[in-house]
Amino acid sequence: QVQLQESGPGLVKPSGTLSLTCTVSGDSISSVNWWTWVRQAPVKGLEWIGETYHSGSPNYNPSLKSRVTISVDKSKNQFSLRLTSVTAADTAIYYCARDSRTGMDYWGRGIRVTVSS
Amino acid sequence: EIVLTQSPATLSLSPGERATLSCRASQSVDTYVAWFQQKPGLAPRLLIYDASNRATNTPARFTGSGSGTDFTLTISSLEPEDFAVYYCQQRSGWPPAVTFGGGTKIEIK
């Protein structure tokens, strides 16, 4: 059974950097899938942040591209999100997901991140 | 960026009724549309991919259709567990970009 688990700080200071990790089990990070980050601000819809393939080659939401980095650690079967210069608008639940040829079929439970001083 | 517009924002229906949800793309996305169900406090769950293919464990009462710019998710007879928010999502272009619709909430009438 494929499982994804987000981890990282739940509180980040304004202008700081948000760093999250997604640990994948039941599948290899080197498999033929895109590894994705999606977020959901309070009482809002879903927003795609970006994705990466195991070889690198990330794709980012154009509205976040200047602040986002998604990377892979094959040795730990993990992928990570780094979002710089955060503001209150970045407060959200952050999900990691596997995007296979048949859609975003496995999701983590999500991690709530608040940007506040 | 391709914009997905979902309508209506809210559907008020009773169990056993038919639900029809619409998703319109600002330009053609071929059939690269998926549908998700989200319940409070939970991650989204994939229902439909490539416009009309049911994901694993998706009940047969859920049907996706459409191509190009107009897509529909139909729930033939609502069960109590179907009251939730539904999102459409597209993946297209190069470099690939993903966008979600704003969501349709199905509430109990």
For residue B95, name the pLDDT band (cuts at 50, 70, 90): confident
Among B58, B94, B98, B100, pick the best mutation site for testing chain A contact (most A Cβ within 10 A). Answer: B98
pLDDT (tens digit, 9 = 90+) per residue, A76-97?
999 999 999 999 999 999 999 9
Distance CA A70, CA A23 (A): 13
- For chain A, give the mean pLDDT: 95
Residue A63 pLDDT > 90:
yes
User: What's the Cα-to-Cα distance from A108 to each of A62, B4, B81, rounded to whole Å?
Assistant: 24, 24, 21
Q: What is the sign, positive or negative, of the torsion defined by CA atoms of A28, A109, B46, A44? A: negative
User: Using the beta-carbon criterion (under 8 Å), do A46 and B45 form an inter-chain contact?
Assistant: no
E-strand spans in B1-109? 4-7, 10-13, 19-25, 33-38, 45-49, 53-54, 62-67, 70-75, 85-92, 97-100, 104-108
Residue of B nearest to A46 (CA): B100
Nearest to B46 among A51, A59, A104 (CB): A104
User: Using the beta-carbon criterion (under 8 Å), do A102 and B53 form an inter-chain contact?
Assistant: yes
pLDDT (tens digit, 9 = 90+) per residue, B8-45?
999 999 999 999 999 999 999 999 999 999 999 999 99
pLDDT (tens digit, 9 = 90+) per residue, A9-26?
999 999 999 999 999 999
Strand partners, A70: A81
Residue of B nearest to A109 (CA): B43
Residue A56 pLDDT > 80:
no
Chain B contacts in chain A segment 53-112 (CB below 8 A)? 59, 61-62, 95, 97, 99, 102-105, 107-110
Which residues on A lie below 8 Å from B46 (Cβ)?
103-105
Distance CA B77, CA B66 (A): 20
Distance from CA of B99 to the nearest CA of A (A): 6
Pairing of strands A111-115, B85-92: unpaired
User: Using the beta-carbon criterion (under 8 Å), do A105 and B56 form an inter-chain contact?
Assistant: yes
Which tokens go with B56? 């694993």
